[in-house]
A = this chain, B = another copy of it.
Amino acid sequence: MRFKTLINHPADWIIGAGAQHPVVITSRIRLARNLRQFSFPGWATKQERIELLDLVQPSLENLSVMKEAFSQSMNQLSALQKQVLVERHLISREQAARGEGSAAVISRDQSVSIMVNEEDHLRIQSIVSGFHLHEAHQKIADLDQELEEILPFAFDREWGYLTACPTNLGTGMRASVMLHLPGLVLSQQIGQALNAASHLRLAVRGLYGEGTESLANLFQISNQSTLGESEETIIESLERFIKQVVDAEMSARERLLKEELPLVLDHVGRAYGILTHAHVLSSKEALSHLSMLRFAADLDFLPETAKSICDALLMKIQPAHLQMQTDDELDPSQRDHIRAEIVRAQLQSLGSPVKDNGDRSSNDPFLI
């Protein structure tokens, strides 16, 4: 599959049915796996990394899930293409910095992606829309088994799967969900709600994982511990906590609607007003307003289609996606203009009236 084909196809986890969950955007599982008798990528010479890649790439491409997959060595991709894959959460920022000897193998529907020679020999990820950790885990467990039959994984009876970094030792598994929590943020309860995560050895991160800030009321929560517990136990513990956060978010939304309706209307109204009328829009500002529109759709202030339009835009308006779309190297100021144009155009199609109000049509002299 060519890069263009991959990019023009919206990821399954964006358009999938699970995308309709009001809080959990995606569920993700990744496994770290290494091959016996090969140095970890950080210790291996370039030649050794190339040898390992040559060995595993055909096996990965032959996996049933990888039919017509996208499979490229990092040095075959431009900086912009790599950045697009990062924005889609298909490779890590670390992998994007690598070249020959490292690769990405990505399934056609983008629900499974495998990085070769990132921190470990293999980083296998399964991502599904909505709150479906078990489904994501089942998918990746099947794949893991399929691979285990053909590749000699480094496994120790006492320690489990061996990994480059001890924090991944054992299951080698990281389960994570991306949560949209505008209710908790607006009612200033977010700190309290996520506070318990650290006691449960769960990590809270921003939109792009470790060390990134929270944007657009999006929070990534994942397990920190990989040792001494089974995959199932880890997932169930994460799932229990996420259920609590989802409940807290839903209560916060209910309370906001009951007690602070003008505040909510003001936030979502302004977001809509700005997105449909701005002509200069930074990525950060657009994300934050789109978050409010998604919230508005959840609250039935906008037609149901608004949610998928927002989710698609959240992806499209990011810097590399924007440049890829326009086939142009754009400087940040040009990007801000084109981003505003794309957002205005897309949100125009939201024009159908809301159920509880018969006539909302109007002539807006600025809607162009």
Contacts and interface: CB of A to CB of B under 8 A. Distances in A.
Contacts of A269: 277-279, 366
Interface in A46-93: none
A301 to B, nearest CB: 7
A361 B366 CA distance: 9
A303 B365 CA distance: 8
A358 to B, nearest CB: 11
A145 interface: no
Given A277-B273, A279-B262, A280-B266, A364 B351 contact: yes
A154 interface: no
Contacts of A275: 273
Interface in A322-355: 337, 340, 348, 350-354
A302 interface: yes
B364 A368 contact: no
B362 A351 contact: yes
A363 B352 contact: yes
Contacts of A354: 365
A363 B362 contact: yes
Contact of A363 (B272, B277, B280, B351): B351
A357 interface: yes
B367 A337 contact: no
Query: Chain A interface: which size bin?
Result: 35 or more
B265 A279 contact: yes
Interface in A81-116: none
A2 interface: no
A190 B65 CA distance: 64
A236 to B, nearest CB: 40
A353 B363 contact: yes
A223 interface: no
Nearest to A340: B266
A360 interface: yes
B367 A364 contact: yes
A274 interface: yes
Given A273-B274, A276-B364, A303-B365, 8 more contacts: A262-B279, A269-B366, A350-B365, A351-B362, A352-B365, A353-B365, A360-B366, A364-B364
Interface of A: 262-263, 265-266, 268-270, 272-280, 301-303, 337, 340, 348, 350-354, 357, 360-368
6 smallest A-B Cβ distances: which pairs? A273-B273, A273-B277, A351-B363, A269-B277, A266-B279, A265-B279
